[in-house]
Amino acid sequence: MKTNNTANSAANSAAKTGHERTGVRRGRTRNDARHDKTKNEKIKIIPLGGLEQIGMNITCIEYEDNIIVIDCGLAFPTDDMLGIDLVIPDITYLKDNISKVKGFVITHGHEDHIGALPYVLKDVNVPVYATKLTMGIIEHKLKEHNMMKSTKRRVIRHGQSINLGCFRIEFIKTNHSIADATALAIYTPAGIIVHTGDFKIDYTPVFGDRIDLGRFAELGKKGVLALMCDSTNAERPGFTQSERTVGRQFDHIFNEHQKNRLIIATFASNVDRVQQIINTAYKFGRKVIVEGRSMVNIISIAQELGYINIPDKTLIELDQMKNYPPEQIVLITTGSQGETMAALSRMAASVHRKVSIVPGDTVVFSSNPIPGNEKAVSNVINELYMKGAEVIYQDTHVSGHACQEDIKLIYALTQPKFAIPVHGEFRHLKAHAELAQMMGVEKDHIIVMESGDVLELSSDSAKITGKVHCGDVMVDGLGVGDVGNIVLRDRQLLSQNGLLIVVITLEKYTNQILAGPDIVSRGFVYVRESETLMEDARHVVSQALENCLSHRCSDWGKIKNVVREALGDYVWKQTKRSPMILPIIMEVE
């Protein structure tokens, strides 16, 4: 299947001739010269996140004194990260090599690809390169963090190339669930690396061009050394449907529900989805309201930059809703994932300030639950039904990621020598690896990496040769990285069993008990209904303490242990629970 085995020389020629369609930056660059010298240059690929997980995408491509970084995303906290707001990558490696870092190249504007930028740029202040809409969304973030002045930014068009250090990076048009997504062809001294970013193949996109399959084919003919391709849907057979199919479904729903108010929940960043709802609303003579902070933000950025086309007088403010009958309204809202604080969840729970769900409303989930959110979404659906709404949640969404046959097409076009599955949990990477093999990539040329792995790649070899420091940095409020495992373990313990605090005041020299022991409980039992238990517990602690002190024990550590053991044993016997026990000793002279 795969016939190309001269990836490196082909890459050289690609680097030399440039990209015909763009006309940008022809001519020889520094790295071209270097290419000619040797065919055994080694580059390094080092993902600092994004592998074995969905989220926190950030990957370094390194050659000698040159590092470029692809994406800089955040992850949402896992269930065991209690109280954490978001997670960003540990970028110790970038800080340690700060003089080499040439810039961030961003593939699209989703949080898992841009969300960590405001945090990371504080430590690694290098230029950011992205397409127009992506940059618009990044700039919104930078403004919030008051970092616009300090951050160098450059907007790149599809087809255009930039030089960063020894690398040339070409932006290639793709489709995704957010407009202006890009794949990257990275011309390195070892050969061409194609990074798809998150993508789908949409032959009939709602906005802009379809994915530039021709360019993938051209690169394949020139010779692609390695393909780093989206794995999200690598387990799903078939092709991903066009975004436009959802539009036809909207037409159908609007037609069937001409007497109902329509409320449609979708992802805030899916501008094309919102465009289609607006198109259908316009066709059916409805006014459109956009509700939910993140969606309002993105739509206003998209409108400003020309990525959405809203007919005059179609969009109205929420406060104007009362001036129209329900059947002339469509409300587009956040909350399609059942997020507690999002607009739709607040409507469903009757705590939204301005919108109440009433019988006759039709609520459409234009989304699928992201794994882990199924229960939350189902709860919102139940609440909506209980309020008398009709709920539609099937055939109203298409994925933004390529399915198996689409992925195969990219392999068929690019014919890479090496395959490096990216963007996915291990199961997705593994499924992707099987596809790559099926498409003719040699088994030992398929490299399933972990975050932190250092992959050394030359024109004819790929080998994981080391590991760099990487990991999760948890953000909680203003604190970046100040919540660690000890704090999380305490939160976990407190959440399961609550705590018992034992306070004692001792006289400094005699160690005589001046006050206490008092026991205070939180999250353990409701004290008013468990007075006997608490009184007995106090008695148990008193006895243990007296016994300990009468033996002239004056070591606070020992005293605390005695309290912990006596109280812990007693409480376990009585309740089979293990609350955290916290003895506090005060001393009075």
CB of 359 to a copy of itself, least distance (A): 13
158 a catalytic residue = no
Nearer to a copy of itself by C-beta: 67 or 448?
448
Q: Interacting stretch for a copy of itself, rule CB under 8 A, among 10-18, 141-149, 276-284, 578-586?
A: 578-586
503 contacts a copy of itself (rule: CB under 8 A): yes
Q: Which of 213, 296, 315, 487 binds a copy of itself (CB under 8 A)?
A: 487
CB of 111 to a copy of itself, least distance (A): 18
The answer to whether 81 touches 187, Cβ cutoff 8 Å, is: no
CB of 435 to a copy of itself, least distance (A): 15
Q: 3-class SS at 24? A: coil
The answer to whether 365 touches 332, Cβ cutoff 8 Å, is: no
The answer to whether 62 touches 46, Cβ cutoff 8 Å, is: yes
One character per residue 250-269, x = contact with a copy of itself (rule: CB under 8 A): --------------------
Is 145 annotated as belonging to a binding site? no
Nearer to a copy of itself by C-beta: 497 or 561?
497
CB of 586 to a copy of itself, least distance (A): 4
Q: 3-class SS at 472? A: strand
CB of 529 to a copy of itself, least distance (A): 6
Please state, in angstroms and rounded to a whole number, the distance separating the CA atoms of residues 48 and 454. 10
Q: Interacting stretch for a copy of itself, rule CB under 8 A, among 35-43, 301-309, 330-338, 497-505?
A: 497-505
User: In Å, what is the CA distance from 479 to each residue of 244, 364, 391, 475?
Assistant: 43, 38, 40, 6
283 contacts a copy of itself (rule: CB under 8 A): no
Is 377 annotated as belonging to a binding site? no
Short-list 171, 207, 183, CA closest to 306 = 207
Compute the chain's Rg from CA coordinates. 29
Is 361 annotated as belonging to a binding site? no
92 contacts a copy of itself (rule: CB under 8 A): no
Element (H, E) at 467: strand 462-467
With 0-12 / 13-18 / 19 or more C-beta atoms within 10 angstroms meaning exposed / middle / buried, residue 59 is: buried
Is 270 annotated as belonging to a binding site? yes
Q: Which of 371, 550, 551, 555 binds a copy of itself (CB under 8 A)?
A: 371
CB of 471 to a copy of itself, least distance (A): 16
CB of 376 to a copy of itself, least distance (A): 8
Rounded to a whole number of angstroms, the distance between the first and last alpha carbons of the chain is: 86
Catalytic one of 35, 195, 401, 445: 401
Q: Which of 95, 358, 484, 546 binds a copy of itself (CB under 8 A)?
A: 484
Short-list 309, 312, 361, 367, CA closest to 338 = 367
Nearer to a copy of itself by C-beta: 303 or 505?
505
486 contacts a copy of itself (rule: CB under 8 A): yes
Please state, in angstroms and rounded to a whole number, the distance separating the CA atoms of residues 283 and 285. 6
User: In Å, what is the CA distance from 352 to each residue of 220, 319, 333, 349?
Assistant: 53, 13, 12, 8
- Which residue has tokens 């990957």? 59
Give Cα 518 to chain centroid, integer Å. Answer: 46
Report how many residues bind a copy of itself under the rule CB under 8 A. 62
User: In Å, what is the CA distance from 344 to each residue of 28, 199, 350, 357?
Assistant: 55, 28, 10, 9
Q: Interacting stretch for a copy of itself, rule CB under 8 A, among 149-157, 405-413, 460-468, 492-500?
A: 492-500
One character per residue 525-554, x = contact with a copy of itself (rule: CB under 8 A): xx--xx------------------------
575 contacts a copy of itself (rule: CB under 8 A): yes
> DSSP state, 139?
H
Is 459 annotated as belonging to a binding site? no
248 contacts a copy of itself (rule: CB under 8 A): no
Phi, psi torsion values for 386, nearest 5 degrees? -65, -30
491 contacts a copy of itself (rule: CB under 8 A): yes
Could you tell me the sign of the dihedral formed by the alpha carbons of 507, 510, 511, 514, in that order? negative
51 contacts a copy of itself (rule: CB under 8 A): no
Short-list 368, 394, 402, CA closest to 203 = 402
Strands (E), 360-415: 362-365, 390-392
Residues 6+ apart with CB under 8 A from 476: 83, 84, 85, 482, 483
Is 397 annotated as belonging to a binding site? yes
One character per residue 329-368, x = contact with a copy of itself (rule: CB under 8 A): ----------------------------------------
501 contacts a copy of itself (rule: CB under 8 A): yes
Judged by CB under 8 A, the chain residues 421 through 440 that form the site for a copy of itself are: 425-427, 430
Element (H, E) at 137: helix 132-144
523 contacts a copy of itself (rule: CB under 8 A): yes
Please state, in angstroms and rounded to a whole number, the distance separating the CA atoms of residues 232 and 254. 32
Q: Interacting stretch for a copy of itself, rule CB under 8 A, among 19-27, 95-103, 221-229, 574-582?
A: 574-582
Catalytic one of 32, 180, 230, 361: 230
Phi-psi group of 542: left, alpha or beta (phi > 0 → left; psi -120 to 50 → alpha; rest → beta): alpha
> What pairing do the DSSP bridges indicate for beta strands 58-63 and 418-419?
unpaired
Is 469 annotated as belonging to a binding site? no
Judged by CB under 8 A, the chain residues 143 through 182 that form the site for a copy of itself are: none
230 a catalytic residue = yes
Short-list 216, 177, 179, 218, CA closest to 196 = 216
Q: In what order do the strands lie in the sheet with 287-291?
A: 287-291, 329-333, 262-265, 362-365, 390-392
581 contacts a copy of itself (rule: CB under 8 A): no
Q: Which of 47, 73, 136, 516 binds a copy of itself (CB under 8 A)?
A: 516
Q: Interacting stretch for a copy of itself, rule CB under 8 A, among 354-362, 435-443, 463-471, 493-501?
A: 493-501
**Active-site residue list:** 230, 401
Q: Which residues of this protein are in contact with a copy of itself, per CB under 8 A?
A: 52, 79, 82-83, 371-372, 374-375, 378, 381-382, 385-386, 391, 425-427, 430, 476-479, 482-484, 486-488, 490-492, 494-499, 501, 503, 505, 514-516, 518, 520, 522-526, 529-530, 574-577, 580, 582, 584, 586-588
- Which segments are annotated as binding site? 83, 85, 108, 110, 112-113, 176, 198, 268-270, 397-401, 423, 476
